[in-house]
Chain A
Amino acid sequence: MFTTFTEWARKKWTSPAARKFRRNKLALAGLVIVSIIVFCAVFADFVAPYDPIEKVGPKLAPPSRQFLLGTDVAGRDILSRIIYGTRTGLMIGLTVVGLWAVIGVPLGLIAGYYGGKIDYVVMRAADSFYAFPQLVFVLAISGLFRPGLDTIVIALGIIGWPLYARVVRGKVLEVKAEEYVEAARAFGEKDRNIIVRHVFPNCLAPIIVVLTLGLPTAILVTSALSFLGFGVSPPTAEWGCDLSSARGYMADQWWWATSVGLAIVITVLGFNFLGDGLRDALDPRLRY
């Protein structure tokens, strides 16, 4: 078993796609950034110098050797809060993107494979989501129902699937025309088997690309919502939420707002570089 895995890994590592990826400097930079972020998220307890929720120092202290990015209005270390923020941000982002994929991918598979009326209905539904002011909708929902993190995540998850359905459907249409699919059908293989064993694996590449590129969008949107006060509640360490607090102190303690914001920028940038590199390597014609 292990040998077959290493064989597979080596084949993937030396494939033309991987080589193209390795030549792309921005993509590599993205990989590095993303790795650091993920590392921080997973090992925040070890990486962060202080506890993010406890008061550990004077309020609104400027950056010093003790508190590398200073302290916030409640005396908490800003750097530690940023590091723990990676965990919050990634978890929320992954959940939202996961919802998009879980809803969108099966719909795209079905619409593309069966075509006809099902395809028509799914695509019309997807299109109608574009006539909707998505962010406004999420705000309205969170305002009218319980304004908690779960409401936000579910509302976001519901509005973001069309892209995934569309991308998968496109790929399915391509694959459907291939001969081995026709052959499998001629042999009388069950549709479900064909989809799972032939069609779906070919869709993995574009799905990975849109997932990697969708994560930054999810992070940006969720931090925007937290900034407005919806979603995460204090004292959880979350970037958008912290920015909202930092806003009031921008005149004098400008490093607070700037550093938290930069954390978001760097994270999103990393995923964008990575996603771009993946797309160029795996499926350059993928344009949404």
Chain B
Amino acid sequence: MGMMRLVIRRLIIIPLLLVVLSFFVFLCLHLAPGDPARRLAGPRATENEVELIRIANGLDKPVYVQYLRWLIGWPGPEENIPLENVYVPGGVLRGDFGRSMETHEPISKEILDRLPVTLEVTVLALLIATGVGLLLGITAALKRGTIVDYLSTTGSLFGLSMPSFWLGLMMILVLSYKLGWIAPAYDGSFTYLIWPAIALGAYHTASVARMTRSSMLEVLGQDYIRTARVKGLSERAVIWKHGLRNALIPIVTILLLQIPWLFGGTVILEKVFSIPGMGSLMFERIILRDYFVVQGIFLVFVVLTVFANLLADILYAYINPKVRYE
């Protein structure tokens, strides 16, 4: 059926897209100023030592060779190179993200340690944005013109105007310093994560709520809704089955657009709430100029975004049958 073909087509494009994007990520690092070899060797190293490090990490080779080694680990370092000199990623596809210039640990380990927390906050924020946003929007649409609608619309406008980091700060101020309900920084518990998730998701909740309201209103004025009523369906079936399904189409589009911004937002909120996630790691290491870590996290975010978009694409095709047959 059309659905299968669409999924297959998307799955074929994904590897291509990832290669292109990964090359872009690699290029960003490559073009960055600074000489990693000199940095690795240290301030007191001799020219010889710097040169040795350069060769060990393949930094003397042309760009495309470096990229290949970065991607799949071939051509690897030469025979007699001691491995502790190698910091460059030896094949991200194999999971080798290289080693940190600061901690000398494998980057993949550092990333994996931090990934769960970041994912938890992001997914929670997305769930809040979708759930609360849809609810608010539908209620506002159904009770159009009433005080509920007015409150919801104004609330949405406020939600769209608040910087997430400020919201996070205010939450800490009120909930922690003034009321003492929660710790002023991440205390390791899963339930704590609801607060940064709310701060992160507020903007997107407002965005979804507004889109939902206008989409529902538009859909409910359509002819096929009248047809459904004339068939004798209950009002509930008319709104929730016939109306909502159509209204969701532009809403899913908007949600699709929000996901990359959510990833960016985690970086900020992890700092505000002192959460040891990928975002704060990236931030720390940017300051320390720990290039490969920054690059590795960037790559992970890119891959996550691509897959999130894929899921959203499939969801969209499921909701809107017209797309399946183009």
Contact = CB atoms under 8 A, between A and B. Distances in A.
Contacts of A128: 17
Given A228-B283, A243-B166, A257-B173, A136 B161 contact: no
B32 interface: yes
Interface stretch (A179-187, A201-209, A247-255): A247-255
A32 interface: no
Contact of B165 (A131, A243, A251, A258): A243
A143 B177 CA distance: 33
B286 to A, nearest CB: 3
A142 B287 CA distance: 10
Nearest to A284: B214
A133 B302 contact: yes
Interface of B: 17, 21, 28-29, 32-33, 157-158, 160-166, 169-170, 172-173, 177-178, 211, 214, 250, 256-257, 260-261, 263-265, 267-268, 271-272, 282-283, 285-287, 289, 291, 294-295, 297-298, 301-302, 304-306, 309
A265 B203 CA distance: 12
A254 B263 CA distance: 29
B305 A131 contact: yes
Contacts of B250: 287
Of the four ranges (under 10, 10 to 19, 20 to 34, 35 or more), the interface on chain A belongs to: 35 or more
Interface stretch (A5-13, A52-60, A79-87, A216-224): A216-224
A260 B164 CA distance: 14
Interface in A247-276: 247, 250-251, 254, 257-258, 261, 264-266, 268-269, 272-273, 276
A140 B300 CA distance: 12
B294 A144 contact: yes
Given A131-B21, A133-B260, A135-B263, A261 B268 contact: no
Contacts of A141: 28
Given A131-B17, A287-B250, A265 B169 contact: no
A140 B267 contact: no
A137 B32 CA distance: 13
Given A130-B256, A132-B305, A143-B286, A254 B294 contact: no
B291 A136 contact: no
Given A133-B264, A136-B298, A261-B170, 4 more contacts: A135-B264, A140-B294, A250-B173, A258-B173
A251 B286 contact: no
- Most-contacted residue by chain A among B165, B214, B289 (CB, 10 A): B165
Q: Which 5 pairs show the lowest CB-CB distances between chains A and B?
A: A135-B264, A143-B286, A261-B166, A144-B32, A268-B161
A132 B264 contact: no
A227 interface: yes
A134 interface: yes
A140 B28 contact: yes
Contacts of B309: 130-131
